[in-house]
């Protein structure tokens, strides 16, 4: 498959680069601690199992945390940066008559780029609509269009730090912290991971993600979504199986 060949080629190029850099520099072991002595933060990972995604949705549903379930469901469905996701208002996803727009059209806070382009329409899919409608059913009154989609009890919208705590607690409660390092970036990464997994031989899926993430290379996108890590594990397992069969 073209995608597998591309990953192999990228891995080989990176190995060559790493070897070249190692030959020029003395070997030093990287510290796992920050300058203040605290453990360095580990990169958030995508949810690699659809069963685990369902467990997370059920967890929030059973806790009657409709806002948090909506945050997770919408987050893995649209792939926005967490800061852009949490700052959404109802007017960003629906019209004044409460019918849904075809896509979310916002300016990303980090890049000041409008997300609606030919390559990266932020579509409002059925999974997004279902999550929002379920949340709206839990409200006493219909929301105003200026209301935040993810309100905070303190006023304004839920902030990134609070969202991170919500996801970390969920991860611990479900025992998923032993399987993944779940954080706010996991939502955006899960969107990308499954986009590629469901379109394994479609390079346009990878190109579209690269454009949406504003990455400079396809290799960066593959690494960010966790695909490179998955493929590396698969290649190593294949090699191990080969050794066992001949040695």
Q: Decide if 81 is catalytic.
A: yes
- Give, in degrees to the nearest 5, the angle at Cα 123 between 122 and 125: 140
Q: Decide if 172 is catalytic.
A: no
The helix/strand/coil state of 114 is strand
To the nearest 10°, the Cα dihedral for 89, 196, 73, 152?
-50
Tell me the percentage of the chain whose pLDDT exceeds 70.
70
Q: What pLDDT digit, counting tens, does each position of 140-170 carry?
A: 999 999 999 999 999 999 999 999 999 999 9
Q: Which among 48, 81, 189, 219 is annotated as catalytic? A: 81
Q: How confident is the model at residue 118 (pLDDT cuts 50, 70, 90)?
A: very low
Q: How confident is the model at residue 119 (pLDDT cuts 50, 70, 90)?
A: very low
Q: Decide if 224 is catalytic.
A: yes
Q: Which among 67, 185, 189, 219 is annotated as catalytic? A: 185
**Which has more confidence, 106 or 54?**
54
Question: Quick one: angle between helices 126-137 and 66-78, nearest 10?
Answer: 170
Q: What pLDDT digit, counting tens, does each position of 30-51 carry?
A: 555 555 555 556 889 999 999 9
pLDDT at 108 over 90: no
- Token digits for 146? 């200026």
- Token digits for 65? 């945390």
Q: How confident is the model at residue 228 (pLDDT cuts 50, 70, 90)?
A: confident
* Its pTM surpasses 0.85: no
Q: Which among 24, 38, 110, 154 is annotated as catalytic? A: 110
């Amino acid at each position: 498959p073209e995608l597998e060949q591309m990953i192999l080629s990228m891995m080989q190029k990176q190995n060559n680069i790493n070897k070249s850099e190692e030959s020029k520099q003395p070997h030093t072991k990287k510290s796992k601690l920050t300058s203040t002595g605290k453990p360095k933060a580990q990169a958030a990972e995508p949810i690699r199992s659809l069963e685990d995604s369902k467990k997370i949705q059920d967890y929030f549903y059973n806790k009657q945390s409709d806002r948090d379930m909506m945050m997770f469901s919408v987050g893995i469905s649209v792939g926005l940066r967490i800061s852009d996701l949490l700052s959404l208002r109802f007017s960003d996803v629906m019209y004044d008559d409460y019918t849904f727009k075809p896509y979310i059209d916002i300016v990303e806070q980090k890049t000041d780029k409008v997300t609606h382009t030919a390559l990266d329409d932020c579509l409002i899919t059925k999974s997004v609509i279902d999550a929002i409608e379920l949340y709206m059913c839990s409200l006493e009154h219909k929301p105003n269009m200026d209301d935040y989609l993810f309100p905070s009890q303190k006023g304004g919208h839920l902030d990134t730090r609070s969202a991170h705590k919500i996801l970390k607690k969920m991860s611990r409660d479900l025992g998923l912290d032993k399987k993944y390092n779940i954080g706010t970036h996991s939502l955006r990464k899960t969107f990308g991971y499954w986009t590629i997994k469901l379109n394994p031989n479609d390079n346009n899926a990878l190109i579209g993600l690269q454009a949406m993430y504003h990455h400079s290379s396809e290799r960066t996108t593959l690494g960010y979504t966790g695909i490179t890590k998955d493929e590396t594990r698969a290649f190593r397992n294949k090699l191990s199986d080969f050794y066992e069969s001949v040695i």
